[in-house]
Structure formats: structure tokens, C-alpha cells
Amino acid sequence: MRRALCVALAACALGLATEAGAQFAITDCFNASVITNSLGETMPVRLWRKYEPKDLPVPVVVLLHGSGECGMDNAKNLSNFGELHKTVLLDDELPPALWAIPQCTRMSPWVRTLAFQEDYRQPRYPAPALRSVKEWVDDLIAQGVADPERIYIGGLSLGGFGTWDAIERWPDYFAAALPVCGGGSVEEKAVKNAATTSIWIFHGERDGNVSVECSRRLVKALREAGASPKYTEFAGAGHPIWNRVFGDAAVLRWMFRQRRGEPERAPRTDGFLGRLRSYVTPE
């Protein structure tokens, strides 16, 4: 009897998820829009205004896509966020927020150079695409739309590198960051800047596109600087791990618990469905 009830409940939940997914497709939730920077340059962006006017100011979540989604069509940038869309749609515990998925081009990506090597040094100026996104968020704060205490950023692959560049460049700006299979600088200043943000880092142990060492050395550098980043390394996994990250409600709930200037000091992995292992840097 109990088993039959469990099966029935599971079928019901699956039915609700399927119905919701069919009724509210990702393109119905993330509407096409444009970011215009101070130079008058434009960038495609998809926005999900999942809030009511009474909720303002709201958290803003900026999600940076990978290299395969570069372009100007304002469509490919949604490609790898289908699982996130389903999770946000169905999880009533997530707060009202503005979700943004901007789109850069191959000629003007999120970062000027990729931090593949340990001796990588962060360029003096941000890439124009990342600067445009930052200007846009600044405007949202000035307009009273965005809560400056709850600005979040995350990204996958190329977007993971962009996420690292942002938190290493602008200290005390982001409340939390979710860099997925990315990399950044281990320079002292860059690491100290990043340490002002609560960070949950993700990487596949056998990533053949971006070496797992890119994340491991940043974890090590941050811990040596006194920070306590969370790090989840997917055992045996390759490069495409983002659906397992952005589609997990526990990750998103953790993100929304963070506030600017209050970086998490005690790494925890509770509630993450028990399917991941946390990588511990050897002493």
C-alpha cells in the first residue's frame, strides 16, 4: 500500500512538473530585451521578472552562458538553463527576483583572456561585455529595482571565467557567486577581492575542456587567504555539469541566503541531495 502511494505521488509530481513546463516554456518566462550601456552599445538579454511591484527592490541573478551560446540571436543564451527554469518555476521557497541571461559574442566575450594557467594575470580592464552587464545592474540599483545587498552572479564554462573575473574585479558588490567549470586569477589582490563574496564553486573531476585544476587552485588560494568557499567536485564527471548545478533547488536556496559583505565562513554541503562530493584541498 505504501509503495503504491509513493508511486502515485511521484507520478502526480511528474505530471505537475510536465504540465507546468508545457504551460510556461522557458521562452514564456524569460522575455527578450536589450541592455544599453553608457556608450550606446546594445546587448541581447533574456529577463524573467519573477516578482510583483510590491516586492521591489528585488534580488538580481545574472547568469553568464558559455562559448557555444555566443551570438546576437537572444535565443541560444537560454540553451543550458532549461533545468534552472523548471526549478525556479516549481520551487515556492525561492524569493521573488529578477533573473537575467545576457548574451555576448565570440568577438566580445565575457573575459579578455581565459585563465587556463596558474600564472594568469587579470587584465586591468574588464571585457566590454562584462562591463555592460555591470553598468546595467548599477542602473537597476539606482532605479530602486535591484536590492544592492542581493546581487548574485553565476556562469558556466566561458561564463564561469566571467563570473570569476567579476568577483575578483568588483569586491563587496556581489552577495554570492556560482562559477561552474571556470577559472580565474590567483593573484593576491584578485583573491582578496573574491573573498568578499560567498562562493560555491563547481567542477567536473574529468573535465576535458577546462582542467579541474582551474577550480582547485582557486579553492586553495581562497582558503589560504582565510576565506571558506564551498567547493563541489563531481566525481568522474566531464565538462557539462551545469544542469546538475543550476537545476538544483538547494544550490539556489543557498545563493539567496547570502547577503553582500557577509561571505560565508563555514562551508556546508547539507541538503545537496547527497549525490555530490566536496573536494577538500590537501593540507
Q: What is the CATH number for 234?
A: 3.40.50.1820
Query: Higher-confidence residue: 169 or 264?
Result: 169
**From the CB of residue 204, how many other CB atoms can be counted at a distance below 10 Å?**
23
Range of the domain at 138: 28-278
- At 118-160, the pLDDT tens digits run 999 999 999 999 999 999 999 999 999 999 999 999 999 999 9
- Structural domain total, the chain: 1
Beta strands in the chain (DSSP E): 31-36, 42-50, 58-64, 97-102, 146-156, 176-180, 198-204, 230-234, 277-278
Is residue 27 within 8 A of residue 78, CB to CB? The reply is yes
68 in a domain, yes or no?
yes
What pLDDT is stored for residue 239 in this prediction? 98
Query: Higher-confidence residue: 98 or 274?
Result: 98
What are residue 139's phi and psi, to 5 degrees?
Answer: -65, -40
1 in a domain, yes or no?
no
54 in a domain, yes or no?
yes
The C-alpha atoms of residue 129 and residue 37 are separated, in whole angstroms, by 9
- At 28-38, the pLDDT tens digits run 999 999 999 99
- At 39-97, the pLDDT tens digits run 999 999 999 999 999 999 999 999 999 999 999 999 999 999 999 999 999 999 999 99
16 in a domain, yes or no?
no
20 in a domain, yes or no?
no
Percent of the chain with pLDDT over 90: 83
Predicted confidence (pLDDT) at residue 264 exceeds the cutoff of 70: yes
Predicted confidence (pLDDT) at residue 271 exceeds the cutoff of 80: no
Mean model confidence pLDDT for the chain: 89
What pLDDT is stored for residue 5 in this prediction? 33
Predicted confidence (pLDDT) at residue 182 exceeds the cutoff of 80: yes
- At 214-249, the pLDDT tens digits run 999 999 999 999 999 999 999 999 999 999 999 999
66 in a domain, yes or no?
yes
17 in a domain, yes or no?
no
CA dihedral 70, 205, 115, 100 (to 10 degrees): 40
18 in a domain, yes or no?
no
Of 88, 89, 77, 93, nearest in space to 32 by CA = 77
